[in-house]
Amino acid sequence: MEPTTTAPIGAIAHYNLLERLDPAGPGDLYRARDTHRGRTVTVRVLPAAFEADPDTRQAFVSRAQTMIAMSHPNVTTVFDVGEQDGRLYLVFEFLKGQSLRAEMAGRAMNVRRAVELAIQMADAIADAHAAGFVHGGLSPDSIVITAKGHAKIPPLEFATRGGFEQSDGVSRLSDYDSPEEARGEAADERSDIYSIGAMLYEMLSARRPPHRGAAAPSVSNRHVPPEIDDVVLRAVAPNPNSRLQSAATLAAELRSVSAILDVRGGASDEDHGEPPAANVSRALIMTALILAAIGLLVWMVA
């Protein structure tokens, strides 16, 4: 909920800054009021040294302006980019919700829910790749789950093409970097695929996949069917050439798996439900009791 007081603590351009937020990245982050459109927004004011070179600075602004034209329900909408008093600022939609990390809560998630969120992220990244952007900074801490349960990819990493590392190496959310990024190589589309796969792996198993190669998620979570194991392991393959090669393909394969789960139903509906064998045993016991009751009734009537 927004605070009852709306007195601004400052202003930048036509945005009244109402509340300082945890930046989780370079510069300062604020909840603000767009006085022209009468809406609540988020404003990130970047450090003065960010993109100090004029050409690089202009390239950043151009990329951010491209983000304004990009529209996807699972990408945080960018409204504006500008400069005031020598500092760049980026304005995007204000989201109410929690981080994906908070929803994961250190445990294996419901299989269907995990696949649903991974599809949303893969769809968003596929659109970003088609527009020429590589994220390079995906993690459960940077993804917002809205009050309606939808995943939202943050925009800043797209605009910088290199996450937060360009301005402040310690600020970059790099825990889910691909093996090639960890070796210092440049991120490409397959690096983003690895990051989505790593998050899905953790959603399913409550652990991150090691860079040397991972065991199937079903080893830690009996509710994960083999079809999902196959897709996840191809997404987090240590060698990028062995990985799924496009986010659109990852989304399509996860949708196919989701359709199989819909048809099959069963144990994958629950996080910690009884295994199929237990359900079968319980059904047999109930059947035996019903037959015994019928037999007793027939004997009494006879």
Q: Is residue 18 part of a domain?
A: yes
Query: Domain ends where: 78, 93, 108?
Result: 93
Name the residue with higher pLDDT: 274 or 151: 151
Strand (E) or helix (H) holding 90: strand 87-93
pLDDT number for residue 222 = 92
Q: Say whether pLDDT at 161 is over 60.
A: no
Band of residue 296 on the pLDDT scale cut at 50, 70, 90: low
For residue 51, the model assigns a pLDDT of: 65
Map residue 129 onto helix, strand or coil. Answer: helix
Q: Is residue 291 part of a domain?
A: no
Looking at the structure, do residues 80 and 137 belong to the same domain, yes or no?
no
Q: In this predicted structure, what is the pLDDT of residue 58?
A: 84
Q: What is the CATH number of the domain that holds 147?
A: 1.10.510.10
Instruction: Report pLDDT for 277.
Output: 47
Residue 297, pLDDT score: 59
Cβ 283 vs Cβ 137: under 8 Å: no
Q: What is the pLDDT of residue 158?
A: 61
Do the domain assignments include residue 301? no
In a domain, 190, yes or no: yes
In this structure, is residue 113 part of a structural domain?
Answer: yes
Check residue 40 and give its pLDDT.
94
Are residues 137 and 183 located together in one domain of the fold? yes
Provide the mean pLDDT of the chain.
81
Percent of the chain with pLDDT over 70: 77
For residue range 13-42, list pLDDT tens digits in order.
Answer: 999 999 998 766 677 889 999 999 999 999
pLDDT at 183: 85
Tell me what pLDDT residue 184 has: 84
Say yes or no: 119 and 257 in one domain. Answer: yes
Average pLDDT on 109-121 reads 96
Chain segment 62-78, per-residue pLDDT in tens: 888 888 888 889 988 99
Same domain, residue pair 78 and 106? no
Per-residue pLDDT of 170-215, as tens digits, reads 334 456 888 888 888 888 899 999 999 999 999 999 999 988 888 9
The residue with greater pLDDT, 287 or 130, is 130
197 assigned to some structural domain: yes
pLDDT at 207: 92
Q: Give me the pLDDT at residue 28, please.
A: 85
Q: Are residues 59 and 121 in the same domain?
A: no
How is residue 10 annotated by DSSP? E
Give yes or no: residues 236 and 220 share one domain. Answer: yes
Looking at the structure, tell me whether residues 74 and 104 fall in a common domain. Answer: no
The predicted pLDDT at position 159 comes to: 57
Within this chain, do residues 110 and 163 fall inside the same structural domain, yes or no?
yes
Of 68, 93, 118, the residue at which a domain comes to its end is 93
Residue type, 281: S
Query: In this predicted model, which residue has the larger pLDDT, 60 or 98?
Result: 98
User: Does 147 share its domain with 192?
Assistant: yes
Asked whether residue 58 falls in the same domain as residue 207, the answer is no
Note whether 79 and 115 are same-domain residues: no
Q: Domain count of the chain? A: 2
How confident is the model over 228-257, as pLDDT tens digits?
A: 999 999 999 999 999 999 999 999 999 999
For residue 110, is pLDDT > 90?
Answer: yes
3-state SS, one letter per residue, for the chain: CCCCCCCCCEEECCEEEEEEECCCCCCEEEEEEECCCCEEEEEEECCCCCCCCHHHHHHHHHHHHHHHHCCCCCECCEEEEEEECCEEEEEEECCCEEEHHHHHCCCCCCHHHHHHHHHHHHHHHHHHHHCCCCCCCCCCCCCEEECCCCEEECCHHHHHCCCCCCCCHHHCCCCCCCHHHHCCCCCCHHHHHHHHHHHHHHHHHCCCCCCCCCCCHHHCCCCCCHHHHHHHHHHCCCCHHHCCCCHHHHHHHHHHHHHHHHHHCHHHHCCCCCCHHHHHHHHHHHHHHHHHHHHHHHHHHC
Choose the final residue of a domain: 52, 75, 93: 93
Per-residue pLDDT at 248 = 96
Look up the domain containing 243 and give its range. Answer: 97-269
- The yes-or-no verdict on residue 269 having pLDDT over 60 is no
123, part of any domain: yes
Asked if 115 and 86 sit in the same domain, the reply is no
- pLDDT, position 157: 61
Residue 271: pLDDT over 70: no
Q: What is the pLDDT of residue 294?
A: 66
